[in-house]
Amino acid sequence: MKKMMIVLTLAALLGFSGMAFAHSPLMSCFDNGDGTVTCEGGYSDGSSASGTKMHLKSEDGKSILEGKMNEDSEYSFTKPEGGYLVIFDGGEGHTVEVNGADIVE
């Protein structure tokens, strides 16, 4: 019985160890005050977001602009007219959305 408990404990530890290495996407955007917006991204484990896909969509879901984070994990764009949504697309389970109305100087 004791060996069985040790085996089950080790199996549980191995099963949950992957969770310790999980990382969450992070992004913040700010209005530069000159008609442009800059977003900075990364992951909670400190890894870079360089090359991460970025999307701007209008209020009705239409694509306005697409690009990628630069080598400094930043993405800048000209502020569009009307409502918009900025999407950090790090893949399944790794997306962040920021409403343009929440982006201020």
In three-state secondary structure terms, 60 is: coil
What is the CB-side half-sphere exposure of residue 94 using CA atoms within 13 A? 18
pTM confidence score: 0.77
pLDDT per residue as tens, the chain (105 positions): 444 344 334 344 444 444 445 689 999 999 999 999 999 999 999 999 999 999 999 999 999 999 999 999 999 999 999 999 999 999 988 999 999 999 988
CATH number (3.90.1150.10, 3.40.640.10, 2.60.40.1930, 2.60.40.3080) of 24-102 reads 2.60.40.1930
Predicted pLDDT of residue 4: 38
Predicted pLDDT of residue 74: 97
Q: Which helix (H) or strand (E) holds 5?
A: helix 2-20
The count of other CB atoms within 10 Å of the CB of residue 101 is: 10
* Contact predicate 32/55, CB 8 Å: no
